[in-house]
Amino acid sequence: MASGAGPAGSQTIAGVPVDLGQPVHINTKKQLQRQINAIVGWNDLDRAPINVGQTMLRGNEHQVGEHPYFVCEKSVGVRYLALLVQGRCYLISQNYDIREVTLFCPVRPDRLQPGVDRNTIVPHQWTILDGVLVCDKDGSKSVLTLLLYDILALNGSPVMTSKLQDRLKLIQNDVVGPRKQLPPPKGHPPDMFQLVLQSMYPINRVGHVIRSILPRVSQTRQNAGLVFTPVLLPYTPGYSKGLFHWTPTSMLFADFQLGVEWRGRPPKPGFKLVIHDKRTQVFHDWITFSPEDFEAFRQDKKASSRIVECVYDPEWLTYIPSHDKSTWDTGSAEFNATERGVGWRKDRGMPLERNFLAMIEKAISEDIKLEEIERFFPDDPTKKPNMSAQSKSRHETPSASDEYAPPSKKKRGGGGSGGNPGAGQRPSYRRNDYDAPPSPEVPASSIADASSVAEKSPSLRRKSSLERESALKVDTPTGEEEEAGELTDNNNLHIGSIYAPLENFDKETIAAKRAQLAALGNRRIWASLGLEDKPQRTRAYGLIVSKSGEVAYVRPLEK
């Protein structure tokens, strides 16, 4: 049976001891890291290959509702990768620290080679699981349980690209099930925790999870929200695009690296929060601790390397010092900031990236309630809220990644936080490109009217046919001809100079037009629009005398 007792004086998180098990030797740690990285295709040695989900924002419900997703409850605990190899179990924290624990986990009997006794206990070889270690309390009794959310590899074979249902079946049939079929051998030490597959449900049963699962789970352990896992997307270590989690605003937290600055005579420390921007440390904000925490960090020789977990507290006052590096006495003591330190955690090895912190801050401001989540994904699809009205407001409101992106990234539509914003975009848009962005000259009020004709070109749907004809008559300054109809002003479309080759922008007509343009090859773009092209040079014909004195007859081209 699992036991919740940890080493005396050890730090616990929601009843889970952080220092569970025994640390491995540095050489063993490096060997395990190299083998794990080779299996899953990972390169870092300071971050474990664990996927990190995005905080759910308004607008993400469209992606979740339009694609296959599973939903499950998220409990408060410690995130680990569990490595099963040669009869041993290793817990791998997010900063790639590895500790050995005791866990009996045999290979599924029917996976054994032919001729091998089915009662033979064969240990797993390089099976990698992803889960959260939680502590269930029943009165005075507490039990540690590793809730398994996913699997990365089974006996050395990566399975990250399999569908989510297939990965969950592997966990149940090849990891959890054999523990119940085969008894542990005599003399085997007791397990330090239980192994349980986390129950996941289709997205249309989110109401059942909210009304039934969350209240039942909350009786034994603390709940921290919901997790939305895509069915078709692979398991992606690192910041994972498409994986979302919803957490109540009161429980949203962010990980920062603590910075220390000394001022005054005698020197007195001040503390600041540091984040990462592409693995580079960047100052984010100052933090004011309680007297007890301040004294603890002041005496901590490793304070500048600590990772602190902070929550939002609108009532907490943060002292913002001046730029005078010689004193702490000047500043605004009534400044209302957004972070309040609550302590540091050993299982986090580095702070958040800047773009993920921006999402957390936006999620705090949006404050999505549990009732809204249930309304987004009803049990009956006919009761689904009108997506067109919501998409209209989403079109008018910039997304979180655009709002917090630097100016250089806002020009071309960006994408989510994971991945490279603007990757694969063309350097400039052609006048008849139906995927071109809307012109900044168009008033915002016309955007809502244009949403009802989504099949039309974004550059033309904001004017009627009469307005387009008048727009074509607008005099434009004469100058040097543009090459291949490409824009020269960084994607700013001018309505007055846009050609209108089609009246009906249905999908079949657009497809036919694209095929026609592709067949034209290297001809000028406006040649396909019925406009006059530059006259081509005519080939010389008749008796042609070359420089070497040779005479040849060239026949004229037939017209």
CA-to-CA separations, 404 to 151, 399, 527, 556, in angstroms, rounded: 33, 9, 42, 64
Q: Which of 10-19, 231-240, 530-539 has the highest mean pLDDT?
A: 231-240
Radius of gyration over alpha carbons of the chain, in Å? 31
* Same domain? 261 vs 243: no
What local confidence, expressed as pLDDT, does residue 304 receive? Answer: 81
Burial class from Cβ neighbours inside 10 Å (0-12, 13-18, 19+) for residue 95 reads middle
> What is the distance of C-alpha 421 from the center of its chain?
12
Say if 484 falls within a structural domain.
no
State pLDDT tens for residues 295-321.
Answer: 888 888 888 878 887 776 666 677 777
Name the residue among 218, 304, 213, 308 with its Cα closest to residue 262. 304
Q: What is the average pLDDT score of the chain?
A: 71
Q: How far apart are the first and last CA of the chain?
A: 92
Cα–Cα distance measured from residue 420 to residue 189, given in angstroms and rounded to the nearest whole number: 48
* Residue 379 within a domain: no
Residue 264 within a domain = yes
* Domain boundary, last residue among 329, 352, 375: 352
What pLDDT score was predicted for residue 151? 95
- Please check the confidence at residue 348 and state whether its pLDDT lies above 60: no
What is the band of 375 on the pLDDT scale with cuts at 50, 70, 90?
Answer: confident
Whether 5 maps to a domain, the answer reads: no
Q: Which domain CATH number covers 307?
A: 2.40.50.140
Q: Of 277, 246, 272, 260, whose CA–CA distance to 357 is shortest?
A: 277
Range in 234-238, 321-325, 490-494, 518-522 the model is least confident about: 490-494
Percentage of the chain lying above the pLDDT 70 cut: 61
Going by C-beta distance under 8 Å and a sequence separation of 6 or more, which residues neighbour residue 540?
554
Number of structural domains, the chain? Answer: 3
**Domain check: are 338 and 442 in the same one?**
no
Q: How far is CA 528 from CA 373, 435, 495, 522, in A?
A: 49, 18, 20, 11
Q: What is the pLDDT of residue 385?
A: 59
If one compares 339 and 552, the residue with the highest pLDDT of the two is 552
Helix then strand then coil, % of the chain, to nearest 5 = 25, 25, 45
Encoding tokens for residue 458? 């974004």
Average the pLDDT over each of 3-7, 88-92, 429-433 and give the range with the smallest value: 3-7
Considering the domain architecture, whether residues 180 and 256 belong to the same structural domain is answered as no
pLDDT tens across 219-258, in order? 888 888 899 999 999 999 988 888 998 888 777 667 788 8
**Residue 445 above 70 pLDDT?**
no
Indicate if the alpha-carbon torsion angle 294, 300, 303, 309 is positive or negative: negative
Question: Using an 8 Å Cβ cutoff, are 155 and 107 in contact?
Answer: yes
Per-residue pLDDT at 503: 52
Asked if residue 210 belongs to a domain, the reply is: yes
Lowest mean pLDDT among 171-180, 346-355, 438-447: 438-447
Q: Which two tokens stand for residue 321?
A: 């010092």
pLDDT band, residue 84 (cuts 50/70/90)? very high
The 10 Å Cβ neighbour count of residue 523 is 11
SS3 176: helix
CATH code of the domain in which 221 resides: 3.30.470.30
Distance between CA atoms of 150 and 407, rounded to whole angstroms? 37
Cβ neighbours for 485, distance < 8 A, ≥ 6 positions apart: 430, 431, 432, 524, 525, 526
pLDDT of 185 over the 60 cut: yes
Whether residue 492 is predicted with pLDDT greater than 50 in this model: the reply is no
Among the three residues 352, 385, 419, which one is the final residue of a domain in this structure? 352
Query: Is this structure's pTM higher than 0.85?
Result: no
Please indicate, yes or no, whether residues 175 and 64 belong to a single structural domain of this protein: yes
Structure tokens at 551: 């005479």
Phi, psi at 70, each rounded to 5°: -115, 150
Question: What pLDDT shows up at residue 3?
Answer: 38
- Residue 506: give the domain boundaries: 430-470+494-511
Q: Which of 82-86, 282-286, 423-427, 515-519 has the lowest mean pLDDT?
A: 423-427
Query: Are residues 17 and 126 both part of a single domain?
Result: yes
pLDDT tens for 257-283 read: 888 888 888 888 888 888 877 777 888
Tokens describing residue 245: 């989690």
Strand partners for 125: 85
Q: Is 417 within 8 Å of 441 (Cβ atoms)?
A: no
Backbone angles phi, psi at 362, to 5 degrees: -70, -35
